[in-house]
Structure 1
Amino acid sequence: MGVLAEYLRAEAEQLKKEKLRRGEILQEWLDALNDLYRQLQEWLTVCDPENLIDRTIEKIPGEELAFGDYQVPVLKLALVDRIVRFLPMARFVAATIRLPGQATPVRAQGGVQLRGLGMRTCYLFRAPGGKWFIQKEFEPLNVNGNDVVPLDAERFEAVVRESF
């Protein structure tokens, strides 16, 4: 009985540490999403001074193996009855991105899918270091690395326009 008790004590301590670390990573991911949405809304304020686009952040159920169930923020843009959503895929995505000027793809540290009209879709990826990038073109995910460019106001406006 002493061996099992010692094992359980050590295992419980390790699991508590892992849970705390996963909680910190989840909070960092949620903060990154909220910072992204703040930036996107600032750009919208500049390009939509008449507030024709209704902007809301909805919380929807999300689930990742590392975190379990949690609430995911989704930025929803509505122009009359046309809707565009920035829908987080996951913090731990399998997608790799090819950053400008780099030949070797790196693992993205989170991804957001832009869903608008029709079947065309676009992805935003968070690179190591926290900077957001966007796919160069509307295209399916590429398992060998997705070519991306920095997300900026001009590119944001272009994909929103194409998505409505």
Structure 2
Amino acid sequence: MENELLLECQRNDRNAQRKVYEKMAGKLHAVCRRYLKNDEDIEEALADTFYKIFTKISQLQNPDIFEAWARKIAVNECLQKLRANKALYISLEENLVQSPDTTVENLSFEKDLLNLLNFLPEGCRAIFNLFAIEGYPHKEIATMLSISEGTSKSQLNFARKKLQELLISQNI
């Protein structure tokens, strides 16, 4: 992201904010989609993310890390939404969520994997995303979600096992 554009955003320049939104909306929407299934929740988390980006951009010390900073805000917004829905506190025995309109035959592998993540319970999906995709260690995940490290590890293991089963059952 261009440093000048970010400086203009710090001065509340609406045109600069629009440009940042246009450049980042797709990336941040993809982040939100990995954590949330409901389109309304995704859009709400995305809107909250951009609100926080534009109201707290003056706190950004290093413009070179803007994208990572924005992603972290998006992840935190999604986790807050999951916490509000109490979706993070599920048992490992909970049945997998089924989506009747999900077809995987005509999708690329990446889209297949994203669709398969939707079959996981939300708590497991959040931990899988935080660990496998975002790269957070279990200790930090545990702190973020107010769970034990052991719970983070067992939920990740559960998610991996279910994803393997789904990959096999879908012949992917």
| TM-score, scaled relative to structure 1 | 0.27
Please say which structure displays the higher CA radius of gyration.
Answer: 1
Would you tell me which structure has more helix in proportion to its own residues?
A: 2
Q: Which has the higher contact order (CA 8 A, sep 6+)?
A: 2
Would you tell me which structure has more strand in proportion to its own residues?
A: 1
